[in-house]
Amino acid sequence: MSLTPLILCGGSGSRLWPLSRSAYPKQFLALAGEQSLLQQTLARIPPQAAAPIIVTNDDHRFLVAEQCRAAGVRPARIVLEPAARNTAPAIAIGALLAQAADPDAVLLVLASDHVVQDVAAFRDCVAQALPVAQAGRLVTFGIVPASPHTGYGYIQRGVKDPRGPHYGIERFIEKPDAARAQALLELGGHYWNSGMFLFRADVFLAELRRFAPAIVAQAEAALAGADDDLDFMRLDRDAFEACPSDSIDYAVMERTQLGAVVEADIGWSDIGSWPALAEVLESDEEGNALQGDVVLEESRDCLVHASHRMVAAVGVADLVIVETADAVLVTHKTQAQAVKKIVERLQTAGRSECAFHRRVYRPWGSYEGIDQGARFQVKRIEVKPGASLSLQMHHHRAEHWIVVRGTARVTCGDSVSLLTENQSTYIPLGATHRLENPGKLMLELIEVQSGAYLGEDDIVRFEDTYGRR
């Protein structure tokens, strides 16, 4: 029997905008500690567990791979979903892979963007629940509620099983309003629904086949048609897109007779809003949670995050203030759930701030917008040692590169040259070109683009180390 972690690494975290954006969502951010939420998830996996399976999407594949590498974790698989289909299909994919490797595999399903403050208690809960899962129950972990929270679903526990640490599940409860949440807390016997599970892969698949057979059928077809791409597994697009979209709760847990809940007092939060983040951060004597260069006067119970400059506030209370390089958010804590509406408005307006930070990460390094006008754009580019951009060309823009640190190998047409600090080169419109860092230090350069259209989609790739199209 192997304990196989399955980490679900999708989602955009739009309620934590402007820090979390669709191109770099909250699971990749260090919101509550020095490591990202994904890396913290990897770190709390029980040491006896097998290598994890990670399910993510194409846009985030290199972020996942890089953060795993930095954390010293080599996943068994990084599976790329071609479309978002909620948790039941993703878990079905993980269960099929785990069962193929070990028919008796037990799957530990974890979200990549949660906080668990007491790792020892979490591992103890998993150890207690493992015999229950091995015996054929579908175990979920119920979080002991610390407040009448309206942002979480609830689980009403049933009868205590005298043979183990678990209870039956009476019912799942959708996110309640404040009055009902208070009533559930006073009544007792109710937990926050953590979205973490432990069960045998074969038992879960049998129940999923019983209640949602189309999900299993399409997951099997998506795996049958999957391709390996570098370190990633690409599911068959047509098969997976045809899969019904459903959560594990609706598809299985609310319908099965095999459900069980194990109580978990582990300092858990899904960091689903700015006030939720404030609750897990250290606060000063006035209840303010401060990150970055922040100066407050006569202020209380605020969350203030400064990324790039000093933020000062006077005489305010119960506010969330978040500063990034290209956006500032100010909201009352009671309205913080509505931040998602701002993101929707930005999407409707076609504004890039809903998806991208000023610094955009790529598998070869990163680039950051510095200035732009009607027919020009200036970027600061960093290329990792030994890395290279694709061999490419542009239909609508020319580029001028100035090296400010390191060594660049530049291909332009049939010419290949080496540039060092303070040297520059010009890439004419339509010229086939490539930028490489042959050195052992980070390459840093300034790129000046000029032309009629400067969008990132004006790229024709001929060769690419990272398999991008």
pLDDT of residue 395: 94
- Residue 214 confidence (pLDDT): 97
Neighbours of 9 (CB within 10 A): 27
Give the ranges where 315-454 is alpha helix by DSSP (H). 339-348
Measured in whole angstroms, how far is the alpha carbon of residue 55 from the centre of its chain? 10
What residue segments make up the domains of the chain, in order of their start? 3-269, 274-340, 359-463
Smallest CA-to-CA distance from 300 within 311, 314, 316, 312 is with 316
Q: What is the pLDDT of residues 244-293, one digit of tens each?
A: 999 999 999 999 999 999 999 999 999 989 999 999 999 999 999 999 99
Q: How far apart are CA 469 and CA 462, in angstroms?
A: 9
Q: What is the pTM of this model?
A: 0.88
Q: Residue 450 has what pLDDT?
A: 95
The residue ranges of the chain whose pLDDT is under 70 are 469
- Orientation of helix 87-101 relative to helix 201-211, angle to 10°: 140
H-helix or E-strand spanning residue 158: strand 154-160
Write the pLDDT tens digit of every residue in 63-116.
999 999 999 999 999 999 999 999 999 999 999 999 999 999 999 999 999 999
pLDDT score, position 31 = 94
Instruction: Give the β-pairing of 53-57 and 77-81.
Output: parallel
Strand partners of residue 380: 368, 446
Q: What's 413-433 look like in SS3?
A: CCEEEEECCCCEEEECCCCCE
Residue 126, token pair as written in the block: 């998993």
Yes or no: domain 3-269 corresponds to CATH 2.40.170.20: no
Name beta bridge partners: 455.
none
Q: What is the pLDDT of residue 469?
A: 67
Contact predicate 235/223, CB 8 Å = yes
The arrangement of secondary structure in 359-463, i.e. its CATH architecture, is Sandwich (2.60)
Peptide linkage before 89 cis (omega within 30 of 0):
no
